[in-house]
Chains A and B, each alone.
Chain A
Amino acid sequence: GAGVSQSPSNKVTEKGKDVELRCDPISGHTALYWYRQSLGQGLEFLIYFQGNSAPDKSGLPSDRFSAERTGGSVSTLTIQRTQQEDSAVYLCASSFSGGYGYTFGSGTRLTVV
């Protein structure tokens, strides 16, 4: 597609449930990044993929968070046993190797009630 696509755009879930957030990067972009934007913490890096490998997972806040990328394309961020503090906008970005064309998606707004 023309841009980075994220789905769903909004998600409301009950505390304790698992959620999956999806990111479709721009075709040909080998690098993919997940960020979280919350009121208290601002914009935080979560994880970076180069192809299907994740050389940097340093930003994942706990072991309830995991992510995978398949076929060097789509990525899924999974949050298990959601907590209210997980409420945030989750942003995905992709780029060519070396960072060229770095583009953000519109984000998924997650609300845990």
Chain B
Amino acid sequence: AQKVTQAQTEISVVEKEDVTLDCVYETRDTTYYLFWYKQPPSGELVFLIRRNSFDEQNEISGRYSWNFQKSTSSFNFTITASQVVDSAVYFCALSGGGTSYGKLTFGQGTILTVHP
């Protein structure tokens, strides 16, 4: 069975602080995919990133960066110089490969509040 654990239920920071959201996963699949989604107050799930299990390169997109480490089964997400607009619920998710792709197992989510 697959499992995703997001250690932080809620994080509160002040604008311009850096913040890291932790994600640890469990799977027996050798091919799998990891995702991060943002859910702002409007409710829609906004795709942020997808990584496959064979690509451990870290990725940076503007103020966002992701650290994928297979050795610790972690896929952590860092926001640099946080802004109020980053306030949202963030979900880490996992899917298998092949026909299992698309069946996402989500973590419980981390509520991020950025104060001005």
Which residues of A lie under 8 Å from residue B37 when comparing CB positions?
A: 104
Tell me the complex Cα distance, A56–B42, Å.
29
> A43 on the interface (CB 8 Å rule)?
yes
The count of residues in chain B whose C-beta lies closer than 8 Å to any C-beta of chain A is: 21
A48 contacts which chain B residues (CB < 8 A)?
Answer: 102-103
Interface class of chain A by DSSP: strand
User: Chain B interface: which of A16-24, A62-70, A73-81, A91-99?
Assistant: A91-99
B53 at the interface (CB under 8 A from A): no
Q: What is the minimal beta-carbon distance from A21 to any residue of chain B, in angstroms?
A: 15
* Contact (Cβ within 8 A) B33 A99: yes
> Beyond A33-B102, A89-B43, A98-B101, is A42–B108 a contact (Cβ under 8 Å)?
yes
Which one of A44, A95, A107 contacts B102 once the chains associate, using CB atoms below 8 Å? A95
A31 at the interface (CB under 8 A from B): yes
Contacting residues, chain A, for B45 (C-beta < 8 A): 91, 93, 104
Nearest first, the 8 closest Cβ-Cβ pairs linking A and B are: A43-B106, A104-B45, A99-B101, A106-B44, A99-B102, A42-B108, A45-B103, A31-B102
